[in-house]
Chain A
Amino acid sequence: MDEPERRTVLKALVATLAGLSTGALETPEAAASTASESWTTQTLEAFADTLIPGERRFPGDMVVAGAVTGPGAVQAGVVGLLQSPRLPVAPLLPAIAALLDARAVAYAAVRLIWLSPARPPFVGLPFSDRTALVAGLFDPDDLDRPVWQVMSLLVGLAFDTAAPQDTAEALAQGHPGLTWLRFPEPGPDGLWRFPDFSYGRPLAVLHPDTTASGSPA
């Protein structure tokens, strides 16, 4: 990717965060259900699945590598979220996916890995190779590292925080990521309080040089 284009992609990616902030987005589940199976979609889903793997959605699913059982980033809706036509990043996703696919072609070429022309190159890589390729994207000298850093942030926010949704609502709807973490449920009024929070007994000797307020002397 050349420099101006890289900057454009970065700006669009972060504008995606701005779009999320306004709440102008469907829930990830809803968005995911309408996502098309284009090459771009498949590539981005495979990227997200490499970061936070999940189980295959159907027998023969080649995009989700099926490295594990249970939910991953795809189930948490990250790619559907990115592809919402209401987000400004949508027009640039093909460029990001193409960048990743180009890296996949180069990766495969030097390792004599055969890639099927019927699938995006990144999707064609075995899971272990996807993993090795993605690790290399974060090399401090990699020019496109900021793009992958922001993409990773979005993947993480989708799975770990249900970013477009209120946390209590997401939990009530069984958000796959929050459920995987076993994020605690709020009380009946939707607020978190923990009346039981402490072992309640001395567990160590205090430092001998402690001030009256509890600071180091």
Chain B
Amino acid sequence: MTAQTTDVLVIGSGFGGAIPAYYLAAGGARVTVLERGPRASAADFTQSMRLGTYNKIVDVVQGDGVAVVAGNCVGGGSVVYFAASLRAPSFVFERHGGLGRRLWPAALTRAALDPWYDRVEEALPVTRTDWPDVSYAGGVLAAACHRAGHTCNPVPVAVDTSTCTNCNWMLSGCRFDAKRSLLLNYLPAAEAHGADIRPLHEVQTVVPSPLSGFRYAVGYTVLDPDDYGCTAQAGVIHAKVVVLAAGAVGTPVILRRSAPFLGGVPAAVGRYFSGNGDRVSVADVDERKARSLLGLSRPDGTAYEGLPVGRPITAATYDHLDPAAPEYSRFTLQQIYFPPLTNLLAQSGGSPAWFGVGKRDMRARWRSWLTLLAMTEDDNEGTFGAVPPTGGFIRLAPGLGQGTMTYHPTSRTRRAWDRADTALRDIMEKDGLSRVLPWSEDVADTVTAHPLGSARIGDDPATSALTDGNELRGHSGLFVTDGAAVPTSLTVNPSLTIAALAERAVAGIAGRAADAGVALRRDVPLPGR
């Protein structure tokens, strides 16, 4: 039997994987993409909360002290995310965190990353939105900010707003192909240049290849589409260059499982895990106050009652992003919508906090809830424990897994959350407009949809797993380009930064491919151009 070979093997098809896959394929390399999730497209994305639909393409991975929401399909997080596309503020790149010195590589600043942000914004493309694009929920946040003396901005999104139906089912994938997921740009462009994307291929190990001319051999299992816990077959592909982009929960696990075969991996692999400082709260809005204090009313006469209407993210305030303020005090406050899957987590005030009569009463006012996300400066305090037997976590059921990460917020992270909570109350509780309550930690601990930092870039080998070009230290030709590489929480949604860093890493990846004898064309245009 002939061994399977490829020039560039990409593990994962989210932002970190799709972008290098496109450029290397368009440059002339043989590219293979292994994706652990299934392949789905608009026709498959049902507007339904029936189990067996969304939970085939989204995973909730419960660790010790943290639950992570992650994409599980071709296109990765881009298929199920809420498309908010923000550049990280300049101060983020200067963060010191708990270590007391600059964490990002010296070569990386906001100005250095801006050209790469430009490319991604053009490729997706990202739409700068205006007030007519802001949902009722975003409007309540904006009006409340204004009344409290704050600014508020419509949020740029990777959405074609002319075809968006404002249905609010983004977590299930976009039925109308209005969301500019990777299924509509980098991935089809990569395939047009010959890239081979294989869904339901879950990578287990990366080991040195015994084949002449190939650096790495990547072992995978093929998952049963009806039961991801069952394995149909296994295989190995030999590659000259490997790009690992399995997500910040998957990537460190694959590397640690492979460590004995690779002769070890940097100590920072599986450390410094961050939840982007995510902190979700519910404001239980008083409809009469929304009318009298904010002057809001809808065509049908109601003041708000708009939680289920619109896109999940439409407005945010940047007023707490002061570069001169001390670390752990800066954050973005953003309006966000989650389907009622998460209703259990909403507190209702009083005792008990999250269940019982008070909570049921609050559910009757569900349409008047305003769900809000603070993205703060956390401490990268998460770590990964024992490696599970296969995959990135133990699969319990479709869409539910037991992970090995531990995240117990430090006092600094708690302080950052408290500051965001206080600011949110100052805006949303002014004159009794609403009652603000953070999600309960009793049921799922801290919840994040933005896992970062578990194999981060940096200049210091002791605290970063990757060079500033995203190459794993001590392992030539093995790159990590997903959220795992992002060294700190960002105070904004991370997708655009993950994508920009992947764009920036392409030159180094192409260089290693060229070193291995892969002839590559230069000056590859943006996808679709």
Interface residues of chain A, those whose CB is within 8 Å of chain B, are 10-11, 14-18, 20-23, 50-53, 67-68, 72, 131, 134-135, 138, 149, 152-153, 155-157, 160-168, 178, 180-184, 186, 190-217
What are the 4 A-B residue pairs with the smallest beta carbon separation, nearest first?
A156-B344, A14-B396, A204-B152, A214-B156
Contacts A/B (CB < 8 Å), 7 sampled: A10-B396, A51-B356, A161-B49, A181-B343, A191-B165, A197-B135, A199-B131
Contact with A along B128-170 (1 / 0, CB 8 A): 1101111110010011011000111111100000000111110
How many residue-residue contacts, CB under 8 A, span A and B? 228
Number of interface residues of B (CB under 8 A): 86
Per a CB cutoff under 8 Å, which of B128, B319, B344 touches A152?
A: B344
| Cβ contact within 8 Å between A161 and B340 | yes
Interface residues of chain B, those whose CB is within 8 Å of chain A, are 46-52, 55-56, 85-87, 89-90, 117, 121, 126, 128-129, 131-136, 139, 142-143, 145-146, 150-156, 165-169, 175, 226-227, 294, 296, 298-300, 306, 308-310, 317-319, 321, 332, 339-341, 343-344, 351-352, 355-357, 359-361, 363-364, 366-367, 396-400, 442-444, 492, 496
Q: Is the interface of B mostly helix, strand, loop or mixed?
A: loop
| Cβ contact within 8 Å between B167 and A182 | no
Per a CB cutoff under 8 Å, which of A199, A202, A207 touches B296?
A: A199
| Cβ contact within 8 Å between A217 and B146 | no
Rounded to whole Å, the gap between the CB of A182 and the closest CB of chain B is 5
| Cβ contact within 8 Å between B356 and A199 | no
Name which residue of chain B comes closest to A68, CB basis: B357
| Cβ contact within 8 Å between B131 and A202 | yes
Per a CB cutoff under 8 Å, which of A23, A190, A212, A216 touches B128?
A: A212
Q: Is the interface of A mostly helix, strand, loop or mixed?
A: loop
Rounded to whole Å, the gap between the CB of A142 and the closest CB of chain B is 11
| Cβ contact within 8 Å between A51 and B151 | no
| Cβ contact within 8 Å between A216 and B50 | no
CA distance A213 to B157 in the complex (A): 9
List residues of chain A with CB within 8 A of the CB of B300. Answer: 196
| Cβ contact within 8 Å between A216 and B344 | no
Q: A17-B397, A199-B296, A215-B496 provided; 19 other pairs, C-beta below 8 A?
A: A14-B400, A22-B52, A53-B357, A134-B355, A135-B351, A152-B355, A153-B344, A181-B340, A182-B366, A183-B308, A193-B167, A194-B166, A194-B167, A196-B299, A198-B134, A199-B131, A203-B146, A205-B146, A216-B86
CA distance A214 to B84 in the complex (A): 11
| Cβ contact within 8 Å between A183 and B340 | yes
| Cβ contact within 8 Å between A197 and B49 | no
Rounded to whole Å, the gap between the CB of B22 and the closest CB of chain A is 21
List residues of chain A with CB within 8 A of the CB of B55. Answer: 17, 21
| Cβ contact within 8 Å between B360 and A68 | yes
Rounded to whole Å, the gap between the CB of A108 and the closest CB of chain B is 19
Name which residue of chain A comes closest to B299, CB basis: A196
List residues of chain A with CB within 8 A of the CB of B131. Answer: 198-203
Per a CB cutoff under 8 Å, which of A156, A212, A217 touches B343?
A: A156
Residues A193 and B165 in contact in the complex (CB < 8 Å), given A182-B367, A203-B131: yes
| Cβ contact within 8 Å between A160 and B363 | yes
| Cβ contact within 8 Å between A18 and B154 | no
| Cβ contact within 8 Å between B47 and A192 | yes
| Cβ contact within 8 Å between B49 and A162 | yes
Rounded to whole Å, the gap between the CB of B48 and the closest CB of chain A is 5
List residues of chain B with CB within 8 A of the CB of A18. Answer: 227, 397-398
Rounded to whole Å, the gap between the CB of B356 and the closest CB of chain A is 5
CA distance A161 to B142 in the complex (A): 29
Rounded to whole Å, the gap between the CB of B161 and the closest CB of chain A is 11
List residues of chain A with CB within 8 A of the CB of B152. Answer: 203-207
List residues of chain B with CB within 8 A of the CB of A209. Answer: 318
CA distance A214 to B337 in the complex (A): 20
| Cβ contact within 8 Å between A161 and B341 | yes
Rounded to whole Å, the gap between the CB of A205 and the closest CB of chain B is 5
| Cβ contact within 8 Å between B52 and A198 | no
| Cβ contact within 8 Å between B142 and A204 | yes
CA distance A192 to B48 in the complex (A): 10
List residues of chain B with CB within 8 A of the CB of A152. Answer: 344, 355, 443
Name which residue of chain A comes closest to B353, CB basis: A135
Per a CB cutoff under 8 Å, which of A155, A163, A166, A198 touches B310?
A: A198
List residues of chain A with CB within 8 A of the CB of B321. Answer: 216
List residues of chain A with CB within 8 A of the CB of B398. Answer: 17-18, 21
Residues A167 and B49 in contact in the complex (CB < 8 Å), given A22-B226, A52-B359, A214-B129: yes
Name which residue of chain A comes closest to B169, CB basis: A192
CA distance A192 to B146 in the complex (A): 31
Name which residue of chain B comes closest to A152, CB basis: B443
| Cβ contact within 8 Å between A131 and B146 | no
CA distance A210 to B136 in the complex (A): 22
Per a CB cutoff under 8 Å, which of B47, B139, B367 touches A191?
A: B47
CA distance A68 to B358 in the complex (A): 10
Name which residue of chain A comes closest to B314, CB basis: A198
| Cβ contact within 8 Å between B143 and A204 | yes
List residues of chain A with CB within 8 A of the CB of B155. Answer: 214
List residues of chain A with CB within 8 A of the CB of B151. Answer: 204-208
Rounded to whole Å, the gap between the CB of B324 and the closest CB of chain A is 13
Rounded to whole Å, the gap between the CB of B1 and the closest CB of chain A is 35
CA distance A193 to B164 in the complex (A): 9
List residues of chain B with CB within 8 A of the CB of A206. Answer: 151-153
Name which residue of chain B comes closest to A215, CB basis: B87
Per a CB cutoff under 8 Å, which of B129, B351, B363 touches A180?
A: B363
List residues of chain B with CB within 8 A of the CB of A196. Answer: 298-300, 309
Residues A217 and B48 in contact in the complex (CB < 8 Å), given A52-B359, A183-B308: no
